Amino acid sequence: MRSIKNKEAVDLQHPIQVFIANIINKTLFGFSYEYDKSERLMTTVFKLTKLFDDIQGYKLVFLAQMFPFLQHFPVIGYYARGQFEKVLDELKENIRDDVKRSLESYTVDQEPECFVQAYYQRMQTNPNLE
């Protein structure tokens, strides 16, 4: 705070978003990002927020949910579902990377420190979980 010259024009939205996203990330994956090195985390948050906003903005999405056969028509299918799948694939890849990072230093004998590790530990004893 001392380095900020104009304390009246402070925008705390970004620091608060990083703080909350780090809490969620720490709970799920067991690690957090430094404030100065949180680009990957915040990019994921912004993509997810944009995805939800875009889905809400397209009436065709809701129509395709009511009538799933509409997704099979080329143009309608793209606007109802296809355009969102690329973003979802990127988000899923980020989640896979985070899960992999979370499990790198974990063994089943240890006490889990996060949700991913606890779920992985449970997967080892329950064949119905994948």
The domains of the chain are located at 12-125
How do residues 2-13 score in pLDDT, each as one tens digit?
666 776 777 778
Residue 36 has pLDDT above 80, yes or no: yes
Q: Percentage of residues in the chain with pLDDT exceeding 90?
A: 47
pLDDT at position 116: 95
Distance CA(93)–CA(77), nearest Å, equals: 23
How do residues 65-109 score in pLDDT, each as one tens digit?
899 998 899 898 888 888 899 899 999 999 999 999 999 989 888
Mean pLDDT, rounded, for 107-119? 92
Mean pLDDT, rounded, for 100-129? 90
The residues, ordered by sequence, that sit 6+ positions from 47 with a Cβ below 8 Å of its Cβ are 87, 90, 91
pLDDT at position 1: 57
pLDDT at position 126: 86
pTM value? Answer: 0.77
pLDDT at position 118: 93
Whole-Å CA distances, 92 to 20, 119, 129: 20, 17, 19
